[in-house]
Chains A and B, each alone.
Chain A
Amino acid sequence: MKLDTLGLLAVQFALLSLFAVGGAMAVLPEIHRQAVDVSHWLTDRQFADVVAIAQAAPGPNIMLVTLIGYQAAGLAGAMVATLAMCAPSCLITFFVSRIFDRFKDAKWRIVVQAGLVPVSVGLFAAGTFVVARAADRNLVAVAITFATAAVSYWTKLSPLWLFATAGALGYLGFV
């Protein structure tokens, strides 16, 4: 049973790794679909928690898959998910970036690069929407989301202060 889960984690995240155009946020709706709706590794609430923990911890936000792997199949699951999410895209990057330099000014490369930008922006927004919907279950939470977005957009305040403030509001029972 556990081996099945490990295999599923490996295959799913390795595949998603190849489609992560613009990074982890692009694949977040798909991860949510697989982990919450299809495989039931986490509840919607746990998904929001796990995203929050990955955001609050240092490091690339792709580390989210480590937590999902852990929830699905413990330590082995965490390792398999992390490796599967990183290895294929890293190998592609390693080999393609070596030949890519040659085409730095080639028209096709400029066109392909420009064409992928709107796609990755749309996918990033979709990831944001899925996270917000899992996290914001009442109006106070929605207000915290908008306030945090505004402060983070207009100031250079460290995100740790925002997490601390929001966590304190939650602890005191306002959310």
Chain B
Amino acid sequence: MIPPNPPSRSPEKPPHPTVPELFRAFFMMALHGFGGVLPWARRAIVEEKHWMTAQEFNEAFAVAQFLPGANVVNLAVVFGGQLHGAAGAAAALIGLLLPPTVIILVLGVLYSRFGDVEALQRVLVGVAAAAAGLIGAMTVKMTLPLLREGALALAIAAVGFVAVGFLRYPLPLVLIVLAPVSIAFAAWVRR
């Protein structure tokens, strides 16, 4: 029997997802997330399910971005943790990582078995060039807001780019030097 009226939620009170709902939501986001999960996360959490307002999402995302690790992975931990503590964080995280891990492992097995097939190599050369282009577009989108921050911010980004991208200095070393300098500049600009 199907219940005649599914429990409806009043629009003024934000719905509170259960732990299994968290798992399912992040599971679906991960499956949709071709070329980045974040736009899907925003759409699902803010626009479809109304679990967060746009403002709350931005604040959670700011924390996720600020801390080390993949942004969307951190977002799952922050969001799940806010709602249900460790259980919520674990449910969102496992939901987010389970489908891509299985898919990527299948692809990895296929690649190690057929990666040397000449036709597949030709396809991959094209796909790899396109993948680099997609990441390039993201780089441009990230760099543009920096132009408004002024020459200092751009110079720091340039130093990081050259040190890690060209000179191939170890990342920890670059971060330990560059991050405090950049933070000091940010403090000086906002003094």
Assembly CA distance A173 to B183 (angstroms): 49
Assembly CA distance A48 to B129 (angstroms): 8
If the complex has contacts A21-B68, A111-B186, are A142 and B129 also in contact, measured as CB distance less than 8 A? yes
Contact for B183 among A111, A122, A131, CB less than 8 A: A111
Q: Could you tell me the dominant secondary structure of chain B's interface residues?
A: helix
If the complex has contacts A48-B128, A129-B165, are A115 and B105 also in contact, measured as CB distance less than 8 A? no
If the complex has contacts A97-B81, A98-B81, are A67 and B104 also in contact, measured as CB distance less than 8 A? yes
User: Is there an interface contact between A82 and B136, defined as CB atoms closer than 8 Å?
Assistant: no
- A5 touches B (CB below 8 Å): no
Interface pick from B2-10, B43-51, B166-174: B166-174
User: Is there an interface contact between B97 and A82, defined as CB atoms closer than 8 Å?
Assistant: yes
CB-defined contacts of B115 to chain A, threshold 8 Å: 46, 49
- A10 touches B (CB below 8 Å): no
User: Is there an interface contact between B156 and A22, defined as CB atoms closer than 8 Å?
Assistant: no
User: Is there an interface contact between A166 and B187, defined as CB atoms closer than 8 Å?
Assistant: no
CB-defined contacts of A46 to chain B, threshold 8 Å: 115
Interface residues of B in 118-154 (CB under 8 A from A): 119, 122-143, 146, 149, 152-154
Assembly CA distance A104 to B72 (angstroms): 20
Contact with B along A161-175 (1 / 0, CB 8 A): 011011111110111
Q: How far is the CB of B145 from chain A (nearest CB, A)?
A: 8
Assembly CA distance A16 to B172 (angstroms): 8
User: Is there an interface contact between B103 and A58, defined as CB atoms closer than 8 Å?
Assistant: yes
**Residues of A within 8 A of B (CB-CB), count:** 107
Interface residues of A in 121-172 (CB under 8 A from B): 121-132, 134-137, 141-142, 144-150, 152-153, 158-160, 162-163, 165-171
User: Is there an interface contact between A118 and B127, defined as CB atoms closer than 8 Å?
Assistant: no
Interface residues of B in 81-120 (CB under 8 A from A): 81-82, 86, 89, 93, 96-97, 99-101, 103-105, 107-109, 111-112, 115, 119
CB-defined contacts of B86 to chain A, threshold 8 Å: 94
Q: How far is the CB of B186 from chain A (nearest CB, A)?
A: 4
Contact for A58 among B33, B161, B162, B182, CB less than 8 A: B33
Assembly CA distance A110 to B179 (angstroms): 14
Q: How far is the CB of B1 from chain A (nearest CB, A)?
A: 36
Contact with B along A53-89 (1 / 0, CB 8 A): 1111111111100110011000100100010001011
CB-defined contacts of A90 to chain B, threshold 8 Å: 69, 73-74, 77, 89, 93
User: Is there an interface contact between A58 and B100, defined as CB atoms closer than 8 Å?
Assistant: yes
9 contacts between A and B (CB under 8 A): A48-B132, A63-B100, A92-B67, A111-B190, A122-B159, A126-B165, A145-B133, A159-B34, A175-B129
Q: Which residues of A contact B (CB under 8 A)?
A: 15-27, 29-30, 33, 46, 48-63, 66-67, 70-71, 75, 78, 82, 86, 88-90, 92-94, 96-98, 100-101, 104, 107, 110-132, 134-137, 141-142, 144-150, 152-153, 158-160, 162-163, 165-171, 173-175
